[in-house]
């Protein structure tokens, strides 16, 4: 196997940035260059005061140690490609918006154009690693493109190395991953390329955590892992609806079933629904794949995981309306949290967006606070979510503020949409004193101590608990 000394990563996003920054930190003998077409993003990665384009706990520290030493960010994609022995393709693969498979299939445009660029400019042999989450057999298409366009004497090996980090804990996840998965063709060349990448990870990841499998297994495992994780959330959320109807308590149920060692305690927290750029997109990919393979029952099974999530979000909006005496028109609601989960500024597919869209369609006034999300991002997301409203009209109904306490002032209701730790530490007595009465709290994340809030005077509604305002 060749010894990797120069790595290029195409795509400086939520995955490419942290992943390759950690490789640079852990492998000082390897030069890592992360390239992206987006000049503003690259400038932010290079900013002197480390105002990085993404928020991730611990990331600034990693970049501080490695940047300028053996970690570089650049928009010179061609140079990055030419100089590297190993190239990660870590570009975005959103759900297609139009054409065949619209709404389900992955848009592989970015992967394809990155691949074509590699073929066009490479003058020596490369190991090309598919890091983006892609449907089964994309590596095969990449290989076809590379082989059809390569110059004489250049050879490409394709690996699949899906990323399992979770936003919000990316650095911890990268420092000690549960496993690193490497898929390759089971030919001598394929296995040798797989060994080269394995040697990179082995600088800090123990050998027994590096799994080598076939290409298609690797690609499918990433979709499967996300589908199974999301399925656990939809399962517990489905049970939360039963709890609300019967008076059972979802925390107690989750605790009880999580004690079963076959089930385990993680990922059993009921909530207003999952978000993020990956779960929904990857399940829809699996649904599309199943349909393409003429497996309609399999497709329907996985589709239900997404449908349950949509149901959970709209069920929560409806609870808010019902509880506020069946109308929120003209009422003032504080929404705490806009990111799709805590410890990230990422808002893609955030449940908060769906809730606010529903509140706006009922003509309520909404005040938003999130500790990390930029104001411009909120306006962008709301404009996209409410295509029938102009931005001007949205701004008449929505206000963005800079603290939780400020958001709640004089409101009729507070909705907790993201599980930011600071929302647990809010001075609820102060909030209560400043709110209209009766003061309602809707906890979409099982975050606050409902009993404590009730003793202050709040009417509290919690996911997965019966009517005990
Ligand atoms: P992102 O949108 O944050 O970053 C992708 C970057 O690629 C963008 O900055 C874009 O400008 C750049 N790009 C696109 N085409 C390019 C080209 N031809 N040349 C150079 N740069 C180009 O996306 P993110 O979240 O990093 O996701 C990347 C992939 O990783 C996706 O396939 C996603 O499904 C997967 N993934 C994401 C995880 C997450 O938590 N966000 C976790 C695991 C996998």
Ligand 1 atom nearest to 38, measured from its CA: 11
- What percent of the chain is predicted at pLDDT more than 70? 99
Give distance in angstroms: CA of 15 to centre of ligand 1: 6
The pLDDT-based confidence of 359 (bands split at 50, 70, 90) is very high
List the structure tokens of 375. 């104001």
Q: What is the pLDDT of residue 466?
A: 81
Q: Identify the residue whose tokens are 């497996």.
A: 295
- From 10, 36, 118, 227, the mutation candidate for ligand 1 (largest count of ligand atoms within 8 A of CB) is 36
| Residue whose CA is at the smallest distance from ligand 1 atom 12 | 11
Would you say the CB of residue 56 lies under 6 angstroms from ligand 1? no
Would you say the CB of residue 277 lies under 6 angstroms from ligand 1? yes
Give distance in angstroms: CA of 451 to centre of ligand 1: 43
- Residue 278 marked as a ligand binder: yes
Q: Of 142, 170, 222, which Cα lies nearest the Cα of 15?
A: 170
- What percent of the chain is predicted at pLDDT more than 90? 96
Would you say the CB of residue 132 lies under 6 angstroms from ligand 1? yes
Give distance in angstroms: CA of 215 to centre of ligand 1: 20
The pLDDT-based confidence of 89 (bands split at 50, 70, 90) is very high
- The mean pLDDT value for 340-365 works out to 97
CATH of 306-462, one of 3.50.50.60, 3.90.1150.200, 3.40.50.720, 3.90.245.10: 3.40.50.720
Q: What are phi and psi of 154, to 5 degrees?
A: -105, 135
Domain ranges of the chain: 6-205, 306-462
pLDDT tens digits, 109-139: 999 999 999 999 999 999 999 999 998 889 9
pLDDT winner (highest mean) among 132-146, 147-161, 430-444? 430-444
Q: Of 215, 211, 130, which Cα lies nearest the Cα of 177?
A: 211
pLDDT beyond 90 at 468: no
- Residue 375 marked as a ligand binder: no
Would you say the CB of residue 92 lies under 6 angstroms from ligand 1? yes
Homologous superfamily of 6-205: NAD(P)-binding Rossmann-like Domain (3.40.50.720)
Q: How many CA atoms lie within 13 A of 7 on its CB side?
A: 30
pLDDT tens digits, 196-237: 999 999 999 999 999 999 999 999 999 999 999 999 999 999
Non-local (6+) Cβ contacts of 187 within 8 A are none
3-state helix, strand, coil in the chain (%, to 5): 45, 15, 40
Q: What is the pLDDT of residue 152?
A: 87
Would you say the CB of residue 77 lies under 6 angstroms from ligand 1? yes
pLDDT tens digits, 190-199: 999 999 999 9
pLDDT tens digits, 432-450: 999 999 999 999 999 999 9
pLDDT beyond 80 at 36: yes
DSSP string covering 92-108, please? --PBP-SSTTTTTSB--
Q: Are 423 and 440 in contact (CB under 8 A)?
A: no
The pLDDT-based confidence of 323 (bands split at 50, 70, 90) is very high
Same fold, 6-205 and 306-462: yes
- From 9, 10, 11, 130, the mutation candidate for ligand 1 (largest count of ligand atoms within 8 A of CB) is 11
List the structure tokens of 130. 């598919």
* pTM of model > 0.90: yes
Would you say the CB of residue 36 lies under 6 angstroms from ligand 1? yes
Q: How many whole angstroms separate alpha carbon 154 and alpha carbon 151?
A: 6
Question: To the nearest whole number, what is the mean pLDDT of the chain?
Answer: 96
Q: How many whole angstroms separate alpha carbon 3 and alpha carbon 230?
A: 38
218: enclosing H helix or E strand: helix 215-246
- Residue 14 marked as a ligand binder: yes
pLDDT beyond 90 at 378: yes
Q: How many whole angstroms separate alpha carbon 240 and alpha carbon 248?
A: 9
- From 9, 12, 14, 179, the mutation candidate for ligand 1 (largest count of ligand atoms within 8 A of CB) is 14
Q: Are 341 and 418 in contact (CB under 8 A)?
A: yes
pLDDT tens digits, 248-265: 999 999 999 999 999 999
| Residue whose CA is at the smallest distance from ligand 1 atom 30 | 132
Would you say the CB of residue 13 lies under 6 angstroms from ligand 1? yes
The pLDDT-based confidence of 291 (bands split at 50, 70, 90) is very high
Give distance in angstroms: CA of 35 to centre of ligand 1: 11
pLDDT beyond 70 at 469: no
Cβ atoms < 10 Å from Cβ of 371:
20
Would you say the CB of residue 87 lies under 6 angstroms from ligand 1? no
pLDDT beyond 80 at 467: no
- Residue 370 marked as a ligand binder: no
Give distance in angstroms: CA of 14 to centre of ligand 1: 7
Task: Give the catalytic positions in this structure.
Answer: 278
Would you say the CB of residue 130 lies under 6 angstroms from ligand 1? no
Evaluate whether ipTM surpasses 0.90.
yes
DSSP string covering 370-416, please? -SS--HHHHHHHHHHH-TTS-HHHHHHHEEE-S-HHHHHTT-SEEEE
- The mean pLDDT value for 400-416 works out to 98
């Amino acid at each position: 196997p060749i010894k990797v000394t120069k790595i290029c990563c195409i795509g400086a996003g939520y995955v490419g940035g942290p992943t390759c920054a950690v490789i640079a930190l852990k492998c000082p003998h390897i030069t890592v260059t992360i390239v992206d077409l987006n000049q503003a993003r690259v400038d932010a990665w290079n900013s002197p005061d480390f105002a990085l384009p993404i928020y991730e706990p611990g990331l600034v520290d990693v970049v501080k140690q490695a940047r300028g030493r053996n970690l570089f960010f650049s928009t010179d994609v061609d140079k990055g490609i030419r100089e590297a022995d190993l190239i990660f393709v870590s570009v975005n693969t959103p759900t297609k918006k139009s054409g065949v498979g619209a709404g389900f299939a992955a848009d592989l445009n970015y992967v394809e154009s990155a691949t074509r660029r590699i073929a066009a400019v490479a003058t020596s042999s490369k190991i090309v690693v598919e890091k983006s989450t892609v449907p089964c057999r994309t590596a095969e298409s990449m290989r076809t493109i590379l082989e059809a366009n390569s110059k004489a004497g250049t050879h490409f090996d394709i690996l699949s190395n899906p990323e399992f980090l979770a936003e919000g804990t990316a650095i911890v996840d990268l420092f000690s991953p549960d496993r690193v998965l490497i898929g390759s063709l089971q030919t001598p060349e394929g296995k040798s390329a797989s060994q080269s990448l394995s040697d990179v990870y082995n600088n800090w990841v123990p050998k027994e955590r590096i799994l080598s499998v076939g290409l298609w297994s690797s690609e499918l495992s990433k979709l499967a892992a996300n589908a199974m994780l999301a399925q656990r959330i939809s399962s517990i959320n489905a049970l939360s609806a039963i709890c609300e109807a019967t008076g059972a308590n979802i925390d107690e149920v989750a605790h009880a079933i999580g004690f079963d060692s076959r089930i385990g305690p993680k990922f059993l927290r009921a909530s207003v629904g999952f978000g993020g750029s990956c779960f929904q997109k990857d399940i829809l990919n699996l649904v599309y794949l199943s349909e393409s393979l003429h497996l309609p029952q399999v497709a329907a099974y996985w589709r239900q995981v997404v449908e349950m999530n949509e149901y959970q979000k709209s069920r929560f909006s409806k609870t808010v309306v019902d509880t506020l005496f069946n109308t929120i028109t003209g009422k003032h609601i504080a929404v705490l949290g806009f990111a799709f989960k805590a410890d990230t500024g990422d808002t893609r597919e955030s449940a908060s967006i769906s809730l606010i869209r529903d509140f706006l369609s009922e003509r309520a006034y909404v005040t938003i606070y999130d500790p990390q999300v930029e104001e411009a991002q909120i306006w962008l997301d709301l404009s996209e979510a409410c295509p029938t409203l102009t931005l001007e009209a949205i701004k008449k109904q929505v206000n963005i503020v800079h603290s939780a306490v400020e958001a709640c002032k004089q409101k009729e209701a507070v909705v907790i949409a993201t599980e930011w730790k600071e929302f647990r530490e809010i001075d609820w007595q102060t909030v209560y004193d400043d709110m209209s009465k009766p003061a309602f709290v809707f906890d979409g994340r099982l975050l606050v101590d409902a009993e404590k809030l009730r003793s202050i005077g709040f009417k509290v509604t919690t996911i997965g608990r019966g009517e005990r305002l």
